[in-house]
Amino acid sequence: MNTSISLEEPATGNISAERKTPEPCSIIIFGASGDLTARKLIPAFYHLCRDKQMPASFRVIGFARRDKTDESWRNELREELNQFSRTQPVNETVWKAFAKNLFYCRGDLNDTAAYKKLEEMLTSFGSGPLRENLLFYLATQPSQFGGVIEQIHRAGLLHKEGAGWQRIVVEKPFGHDLASAQTLNRELTRYAHEQQVCRIDHYLGKETVQNILMFRFSNSVFEKLWNRNSVDHVQVTVSEKIGVGDRGGYYEEAGALRDMVQNHMLQVLSLVTMEPPVSLAAESIRDEKVKLLKSIRALTPEDVAKQVVRGQYFAGAINGKPVPGYRQEPKVKPDSNVETYVALKLLIDNWRWSGVPFYLRTGKNLPMSASEVRIQFRPTPHVLFAAECGQNLDTNAIALRLQPNEGIYLRFNGKVPGMSLGVRPVRMHFSYDAEFGAYTPEAYERLLLEAIAGDATLFIRRDEVETAWQIVDSIRKGWDSKPLTNREFYSAGTWGPVASDDLLAQAGHAWHEPQMVK
The catalytic site residues sit at 264
DSSP bridge pairs for 397: 376, 411
**Which of these, 269, 264, 177, 273, lies nearest to 223 by C-alpha position?**
273
131 contacts 25 by C-beta, under 8 angstroms: no
Q: Are 378 and 395 in contact (CB under 8 A)?
A: yes
**Beta-carbon contacts of residue 43 (< 8 Å; ≥ 6 apart):** 81, 84, 85, 86, 442, 444
Do strands 231-239 and 25-30 pair parallel, antiparallel, or not at all (unpaired)? unpaired
Torsion angle (degrees, nearest 10) of CA 402, 404, 409, 413: -130
d(CA 286, CA 205): 15
Phi then psi dihedrals of residue 139, to 5 deg:
-90, 55
SS3 call for 334: coil
Query: What b/e sequence results for 81-120 when a residue is b if at least 16 CB atoms lie within 10 Å of its CB, and e otherwise?
Result: beebbeeeebbeebbeebbebbbbbbbebeeeebbebbbe
Cβ atoms of 52 and 160 within 8 Å: the answer is: no
d(CA 76, CA 59): 17
Quickly list DSSP for 368-402: S-EEEEEEEEPPPPTTSSHHHHGGG-PPPEEEEEE
Q: In sequence order, what are the residues at sequence separation of 6 or more whose Cβ sits closer than 8 angstroms to the Cβ of residue 94?
A: 46, 49, 50
What's the sign of the alpha-carbon dihedral 117, 120, 125, 130? positive
Question: To 10 degrees, the CA torsion angle through 48, 210, 198, 16?
Answer: 60
Burial grade of 257 (CB within 10 A; 0-12, 13-18, 19 or more): buried
Looking at the DSSP assignment, which residues form a beta bridge with residue 500?
Answer: none
- Alpha-carbon distance of 410 to 430, in angstroms, equals 9
Collect all residues with Cβ–Cβ distance below 8 Å to 373 and sequence separation of at least 6.
212, 234, 235, 236, 268, 272, 399, 400, 402
